[in-house]
Structure 1
Amino acid sequence: MQHLKLENHELNPFLENIKNLNLPFEHVPQQHKVLVYTPQQEKIAVLRYSIYQELIGSDFFQSKEFFNHVILGVRAGLAGLLCYDNGALVDHKVFRAYMVRKKQGKSQINYLKTKGKSRAGSRVRLGETKIFFQEIAERLTQYNTHMRMDHVFLSCATTLIPFLFKDNTVLQQAKSRQAISKIPFHISQPTHENLLKAQHQLTFNQVLIKENQFIDSQQLKKIIAKSDGFSGLDEDW
């Protein structure tokens, strides 16, 4: 498998080469993806284009005229937010809470139905958990009040999703209008530094291509055109 970077001006030549090779492709706009298949319907490539680009129909790419977005990362006891106004970072916030049981290293919310929740330490953790998610919701509400929020990019532990969305009107509305998507690579801890790296990664146009019996090396060269080599982060196919 090859990881390659495409510059913005190379997106349309890439798309044209796919069409010239008569390879079927599928656009997944919510994930900023173009999936490319062989005539036998085997997935051969994934183009993940920059969040600042958009594909018009199935014809051509162009830069977005205006785009505001939020990057949100959530783990037990730690969350981070980055707010971008048309590409400029205008606000950031890190949230911390005492949510993890010592020794076990697991979040208190995983023990809601156990006897331990009646103990003082458990009550403190549950209380801080509630405040933790409330503060995230309040910050998002502030953003939504003062600016247009076009999209939310989210990295969140699966067990925390119900607690994150509960009473969070902004996220619920973003989900209903399909304006929220999972960050397509792993973020171990949502620190300010790691979220900045995620933002940087989301602005790349990158393509993952694997060679097989249906696509030979010469066709690959046509697909990638004049692309520079690029080693991206691991992501989902």
Structure 2
Amino acid sequence: MKQTSVNLFHIPVVDLLHQIQERYQYTYDFQKHVILLENESREVLGQIRLPLHLIINDQLEIVNECAQVLYLSVESGNAAICVMEGKTNIYHTTFSAYMTRKKQGVSQIKYLNKKGKSRAGSRVRLAKTIEFFENINSTLTELLVNHVIDRIALNCSTTLIPYLHQSKVPCPFEKKDDRLYKIPLHISQSNFTNLDKAIKKLMAPMLLYDIRFKERFEGFENC
């Protein structure tokens, strides 16, 4: 299956939702925040990825156009947090820690799974790893207390997720929190610049579809 994508930034959201209702059967997937576009036989032809600051219901009615979204990107040794209110960045911060073995370029977490933690350098990196996740969770807790967060957008590898949730400072949201949203973009490094770029890309609706059904979507490209 060959998939293509079309940026729909040029179509007002109200008009976009109206087009969908007129032209397709559809299903809204809250977790992925996409509208599945279907034919009369309920076969999925494509999907529209919606901006995360936009909240809609199953009937494609706009509930809120200025949602508060917490973005978190974590990698070994680096993390970035942003809070967006609609399209406005109202908070951001970054974290860094000495968690990587310099010669091998391997994170301490991955190394521990193979070699243990007997050497002094390993113990230092392990302590920094623990502190790293405690600092992240402390900041997350404060933000969730002070803001009404509608969605939590997360970019974090499966290797690091357990450390986020097993920290001595509890993670303020569960692994299956209804607000969680997996950021569908690659973020090369977890710093503010890269996270900000990803957020800006996610602000525009995006049409993704199987190239076999191109004729069903020509109207969007020509709007």
TM-score normalised to structure 2 length: 0.86
Partner of 1:43: 44
Task: Confirm whether residue 14 of structure 1 aligns to residue 15 of structure 2.
Answer: no
What is the match of residue 108 of structure 1?
Answer: 108
Which stretch shows the higher mean deviation, 200-209 or 35-44?
35-44
Partners of 2:127 and 2:48 lie apart in 1 by 43
Alpha-carbon distance in 1 for matches of 2:206, 2:61? 14
Q: Distance in 2 between matches of 1:201 and 1:148?
A: 23
Tell me the residue number matched to 1:99. Answer: 99
- Aligned partners of 1:10, 1:104: CA distance in 2, in Å? 53
Please list the CA deviations of residues 143-184 of structure 1 after superposition, one character each: whole Å capped at 9, or x if unmatched.
Answer: 112121221101012211110122433132xx4441111101
Contact 1:13 1:225 in 2 (8 A): no
CA displacement 1:53-112 (0-9 Å, x = unmatched): 233323x34261542111110110111111223443222111111111122211111232
Distance, in Å, in 1 between the alignment partners of 2:64 and 2:74 is: 28
Structure 1 pair 110–2 and aligned structure 2 pair: CA distance change class (3 A)? closer
> What are the ranges of 5 or more consecutive residues in structure 1 without an aligned counterpart?
228-237
Q: Is the Cα contact below 8 Å between 2:164 and 2:171 reproduced in 1?
A: no
Q: Is the 8 A contact 2:154 2:183 kept in 1?
A: yes
Between 1:112-121 and 1:126-135, the stretch displaced more is 112-121
Q: Contact conserved, 1:49 with 1:206, CA < 8 A, in 2?
A: yes
Distance apart, 1:114 and its partner CA: 4.8
Q: Secondary structure at the match of 2:159?
A: helix
Any conservation in 2 of the 1:11–1:61 contact (CA below 8 Å)? no
Report SS of the residue matched to 1:80: strand
Return 5+ residue gaps in structure 2 as ranges.
none
Determine what percentage of the aligned residue pairs are the same residue.
Answer: 31
Asked whether the 8 Å contact 1:81–1:94 carries over to 2, the reply is yes
- 1:208-219 map, 5 Å: 208-212=208-212, 215=213, 217=215, 219=216
Q: Secondary structure at the match of 1:123?
A: helix
SS at structure 1 position matched to 2:207: strand
Residue correspondences, number: 216
Letter of the 1:220 partner, please give it: F
RMSD: 2.2
Which residue of the partner structure matches residue 28 of structure 2? 27
Matches within 5 A, 1:64-213: 64=64, 66-167=66-167, 168-172=170-174, 175-212=175-212
Q: Shift in Å at residue 13 of structure 1?
A: 3.2
User: How far is 1:226 from its partner?
Assistant: 4.1
Q: Do structure 1's residue 55 and structure 2's residue 60 form an aligned pair?
A: no
Q: Which amino acid aligns with 1:26?
A: T
